[in-house]
Amino acid sequence: MGGSRAFAQDTSTGQASGAAAQTHEVQMLNKGSEGRPMQFEPAYLKIAPGDSVKFVATDKGHNSEAIPAMVPEGAETWKGKINEEITVTFDAEGIYGYKCAPHFGMGMVGLVQVGESPANLDAAETVKLPGKAKTRMAELIGQVGGAE
């Protein structure tokens, strides 16, 4: 009589394969484990298409948002609010650069590699970034499989 059903179906991934999508966690920190100020940790992730990343507001005053020029063509961008967690699902293969808006110039950037063949790697390498963000992003791009 008007009750809820006793089963649940997860259709959020939209994946046709039998592989279960994973959720990875990135912390937004005032100071990373290496002692660097204003960091995402880990700042570089390699994940499979369909996986998600949960950006956790571990310390106050941070957000996660895409750097639009550093996402694959046709892929969704995101913009989280300050002090709030946001979970982003990455379906398209490629490189996704992201930032903390208040600390962008201080080098608070991160990189997600989705899949094995980041078709937009060359384009991502040419994006102009401010201050320490440029140096930090170059370090992260250097971790991408196949990058020199």
Residue 10: pLDDT band (50, 70, 90) is very low
Q: What pLDDT is recorded for position 90? A: 97
- Residue 143: its H or E element: none
**Domains parsed from the chain with CATH numbers:** 23-142 (2.60.40.420)
Beta bridge partners of 23: 52
Q: What is the pTM of this model?
A: 0.84
Return the beta strands (E) in 34-104 as ranges: 37-41, 44-47, 52-56, 65-66, 86-89, 94-99
Q: Distance between CA atoms of 38 and 57, rounded to whole angstroms?
A: 12
24 annotated as belonging to a binding site for a ligand: no
100 annotated as belonging to a binding site for a ligand: yes
Residue 1: pLDDT band (50, 70, 90) is very low
The residue written with tokens 């100020």 in the block is 37
Q: What pLDDT is recorded for position 83? A: 97
What digits encode the pLDDT tens for the residues 111-141?
Answer: 999 999 898 999 999 999 999 999 999 999 9
